[in-house]
Amino acid sequence: MSEETVSADEQQVLYEVGDGIATITLNRPHRRNAITAKMLQQLGDAFLRADNDVDVRCIVLTGAGQGFCSGLDMKEAAAGSDIGGNPDAGAALPHTRTLPTNILFNLDTPVIAAINGAAAGYGLDLALGCDMRVGGESTRLLPGFAKRGIVPESGGTWYLPRLIGWAKATEVSFRGNDLDANESRDIGLLNDVVADEDLVAVAKDWAGEIAGNAPLAISSMKRLFRHGLTQDFESHTHHVLLQTMALFRTKDFKESVTAFMERRDPRFEGR
């Protein structure tokens, strides 16, 4: 297992890799992992690092300490020293394409959010952008944008209607009430709820299952899911057919057939 070595002051996002899984941890536990401009930069870099590593087959995203991410650091904003309070911090982000939420949307590597504690504001949008979300018993999703006079600015307005339907998305957003773990699971915002102490282990178990499957097929599925959101059926199935024919030519597909005939588990190489 390897870990990025950065000074403690700079290390607002932790990165480590083991067994085909990249674990990315938001690392401002004293502020419930509230975002800063530096954290955004480091998080985007971590996502790209994992996606560009052929040995990484799944990403687990979580937060250090007692919370996943509390959103904008209101204390820093009020002090005028970071996003929301410092014009220079915003000037460094004149477009959205390099923001972590946009990078996250375009990743071909599967991402599982292990949501410990509260996910609020930006933290909620970040969690919604992951492919799967596992919560602990203490997990809380806090969609209180309307109570702050703002909107879900980092993907929430796009994800929520697609994940839970128009009526439920408007109920969640317009009322702005906190959602506990079980309610979040029941309406489809969490895939599962487990004991707090088991949260990261369960997320890594899921990631391990994904890492054991054919990585080229997984990344192709994710791209096709993403593109299918804006394609008509005929165009989409045409692209699926082309992708399937390409996968038939891979070493991994041949290995899957051989392993099936030999009654053993396949050994995929991503080729």
Per the domain annotation, does 271 fall within a domain?
no
Same domain, 103 and 230: no
pLDDT, mean of residues 87-113 = 79
Question: Which residues constitute the domain of residue 24?
Answer: 2-211
Same domain, 169 and 244: no
Task: Compute and round to an integer the Cα radius of gyration of the chain.
Answer: 19
Q: How confident is the model at residue 6 (pLDDT cuts 50, 70, 90)?
A: very low
Q: Which helix (H) or strand (E) holds 63?
A: strand 58-63
Per the domain annotation, does 267 fall within a domain?
no
- Of 167, 173, 139, 10, give the one whose Cα is nearest residue 62: 139
Same domain, 81 and 125: yes
Indicate which CATH number applies to the domain containing 169. 3.90.226.10
The Cα–Cα gap between 26 and 176 comes to 25
pLDDT of residue 84: 54
The Cα–Cα gap between 18 and 83 comes to 33
Instruction: Judge whether residue 86 has pLDDT over 80.
Output: no
Per the domain annotation, does 266 fall within a domain?
no
Per the domain annotation, does 269 fall within a domain?
no
The Cα–Cα gap between 191 and 118 comes to 16
Same domain, 175 and 224: no
Same domain, 190 and 101: yes
- Of 119, 136, 137, give the one whose Cα is nearest residue 127: 119
Per the domain annotation, does 251 fall within a domain?
yes
Number of domains in the chain: 2
Which residue, of 169, 194, 211, is where some domain finishes?
211
Same domain, 11 and 79: yes
pLDDT of residue 4: 43
**pLDDT for 22-62, tens place per residue?**
999 999 999 999 999 899 999 999 999 999 999 999 999 99
pLDDT of residue 1: 44
pLDDT of residue 152: 81
User: How is 224-249 classified by DSSP, letter by letter?
Assistant: HHHHHTTS-HHHHHHHHHHHHHHHHT
